Amino acid sequence: MVTKKFQKPIISFFMLMAGICFTEGGAVIFNNGIVRLAWFILAFLPVGLGVMREAWECAMKKEVFSEFMLMTIASIGAFIIGEYPEAVAVMLFYCVGETLQDMAVDKARDNIRSLMEFHPKMAVIVRGNHKVADKPENVIPGEIIEVKPGERVPLDGILTSGDAAFNTAALTGESMPRTIENGHEVLAGMIATESVARIKVTRPESESAVARILKMVEEASERKAPAELFIRKFARIYTPAVIALAALTVIVPYIWSAAGTGFVYDFSTWFYRALIFLVISCPCALVISIPLSYFAGIGAASRHGILFKGGNWLDAVTHIDTVVFDKTGTLTRGVFSVTKVCGNDTGKLLATVAAMERSSNHPIAKAITAYAGDRTAEVSDVKDLPGYGMTATAGGDRWLAGTLRLLDRENVSYPEELKSVPETIVACAKNGRYEGYILLADTLKDDAAEAVRRLRECGISRMDILSGDKQALVDKVATETKVDKGYGDLMPEGKVRHIEQLQREGRNVAFVGDGINDAPVLALSNVGIAMGAMGSDMAVETADVVIQTDHPSKVAEAIRAGKRTVSVVRQNIVMAIGIKVAVMLLGLVGMANLWGAVFADVGVALLAVLNATRIFFGRAAGERSGANRNNGH
């Protein structure tokens, strides 16, 4: 395939080299000008015909200043003034450069898109005692599918076969397997790692998490960054301006000579220099590499579980100077852990309640059993009372464990001050008498403080916490994470007012929340970042950047990804414009020829494309995130 792409350039190259050798070697037949011209025209045609055809088609569409037209004029102009080898060289090296450029771009896009190939071709459906393989798009919500270890989950659903471990790297960028509990959601794109998993499908293939991610990445290329919009406008002005300079390069010296200044005008010399302007006026280095840079930036970020909803947001995160966090589920885990056990016999109370809760999948039950460890008791007649708690018999005694509403319902009296405790309480009673309680609280995420530190390193000058929780709890989290200030007891409108105040102070604000309860603030902030939103429709709708894991340290990684991309874009702009201007000036004073111009044009385009692909293939900033050391909780 590669050989076929270069077939015509190879023919032109050997004919060009032969023509140069015959000319320089004094071949008798090349003393005939017509034969020499015919030879170089034959060398020109394999690479020139296609470009000339494109130039004609563009002209018919009134796209007069296309790169094809520029190269056609430059080559024909070189033939007119007798510079036959350079006429062929202009078109030959232009075509080789375009082919290499296309190959580099295609390779980069294929590599980026390959990350998004989460879709298995088939799904195994369990129907009674039979298993049927079918395409995922044919599976109906409610059906059960089976996924074996090493296989990728084809559809979103609820795990029904017991707790199982899944590799979520394709969605989150994390290498550590994540254990998903029975009855919890499993998303398309995850890979079963240890056991056979059965999943009850909840969404059709077109609405799966993978489909949403693919749609987001595809639509991201339509949201242009300011640099992309600038280059589009610049290209429309740059090419006509350089062509005008090329015309002036021929006309001004003639007028200067005709004015009797004694300046000797040679048309061929100045026309040749004008052709250099035409060759170097092609803006393809910028027009191709800059959109590719943003596309590569979006692809590289998605590999690490960070989805930008457009190139404009890659640019926007580089201007952020203030980050505001929601507390619950963002800096804290959003799951419970036991902080205190209070009662007359705390050991017996904890062991009994843990035994009662051991069969439950509720987050509170998991927290209590984890805290109790090996401590347990013999219980029987365990009953789950949804919305209230549980009852059981232990040692002949009837035990209650649950909310204060459960004790109220059972007419059990308890200390009045329990009603004012801000944390979650599991109140306990035995034979109708209050025994004590287990206090549970949310805990700080392992990388919460690290996330704040990394944001400081990224140049973020202010960080706040906004929460509806009590001020004392917010202050505690603010102290532990070392953010600037925490604001508690806030209603949703209070959060909005806080963001508005920061913006009135001239700050560029990023709000980091769960994407569900904070939609107004996410929409109002300069950049809305939704966390832990792998399966959240609301987050995808309201946020500008979606972080698919629960690690706040990814926020700094997102900012670094934006800075890395914008840095490469700026490098390409400076490099391309700088080299082109330098070649124009050298050509104007006779120190550059068409060979140099075409090499400069092709070379700078290739360098710009390769520099853009470096974003994707290089090590992503922030990849050393401590989040990767966590196991997905």
What confidence tens digit (pLDDT) does each residue in 363-411 have?
678 889 999 998 889 999 999 887 688 999 998 999 999 988 899 999 9
Q: Which of 396, 365, 362 is nearest to 379 (CA)?
A: 396
Average pLDDT across the chain, whole number: 83
Separation between Cα atoms, residue 67 and residue 31, nearest integer Å? 34
If DSSP codes are grouped into helix, strand and coil, which group holds residue 530? strand
Tell me the CATH number at 165: 2.70.150.10
Of 444, 475, 502, at which residue does a domain stop? 444
178-199 core/surface letters (b: 16 or more CB in 10 A; e: else): bebeeeeebbbbbbbeeeebbb
Neighbouring CB atoms inside 10 A of 24's CB total 10
Residue 359 lies in a domain: yes
- What confidence score (pLDDT) does residue 384 get? 86
584 within 8 A of 243, measured Cβ to Cβ: no
HEC readout, 155-173: CCEEECCCCEEEECHHHHC
Closest CA to 338 of 307, 375, 298, 313: 375
For residues 71 and 334, the model is more confident at: 71
Give residue 427's pLDDT band: very low, low, confident or very high (50, 70, 90).
very high
Q: In what order do the strands lie in the sheet with 130-134?
A: 130-134, 123-127, 144-147, 197-201, 157-159, 185-186
Q: Considering the domain boundaries, does residue 58 fall inside one? A: no
Which residues carry out catalysis?
326
Q: Is the dihedral of CA 217, 222, 225, 230 positive or negative?
A: positive
Q: What is the pLDDT of residue 509?
A: 96
- Specify whether the backbone of 168 is left (phi greater than 0), alpha (psi in -120 to 50) or beta: alpha
Structural domain includes residue 1: no
Q: Which residue has the higher pLDDT, 252 or 423?
A: 252
Q: Do 303 and 622 form a contact (C-beta atoms < 8 A)?
A: no
What's the pLDDT tens digit per position in 189-235?
A: 888 888 899 999 999 988 887 777 666 666 655 666 677 677 767 76
Strand, coil or helix: 250? helix
The string of pLDDT tens digits covering residues 304-350 is 888 888 888 999 999 999 999 988 778 988 777 898 999 989 999 99
In a domain, 90, yes or no: no
Give the pLDDT confidence score for residue 516 in this predicted structure. Answer: 53
Residue 101 has what pLDDT?
Answer: 67
Alpha-carbon gap, residue 250 to 272, rounded angstroms: 9
Q: Per the domain annotation, does 528 fall within a domain?
A: no
Question: For 271-316, how does the pLDDT look when each residue is reduced to its tens digit (9 = 90+)?
Answer: 999 888 888 777 777 777 888 888 888 888 887 888 888 888 999 9
Residues 6+ positions from 265 with CB-CB distance below 8 Å = 253, 254, 256, 257, 258
pLDDT value, residue 624: 41
Q: Domain of 422?
A: 333-444
Asked if residues 257 and 264 have their Cβ atoms less than 8 Å apart, the reply is yes
563, pLDDT greater than 90: yes
- The verdict on residue 306 lying in a domain is no
Looking at the chain, the whole-number percentage of residues with pLDDT higher than 90 is: 33
Final residue in a domain of this structure, among 444, 466, 491: 444
- Whole-number pLDDT of residue 112: 53
Q: Where among 140, 174, 202 does a domain terminate? A: 202
Q: Is residue 380 part of a domain?
A: yes
Q: Is there a domain that residue 268 lies in?
A: no
522 token code pair: 């996410």
Rounded to an integer, the average pLDDT of 62-76 is 81
Name the residue among 13, 19, 534 with its Cα closest to residue 305. Answer: 534
Domain CATH for 363: 3.40.1110.10
- Counting the structural domains of the chain, the total is 2
At 463, the amino acid letter reads: M
The Cα–Cα gap between 143 and 122 comes to 14
- pLDDT value at residue 535: 46
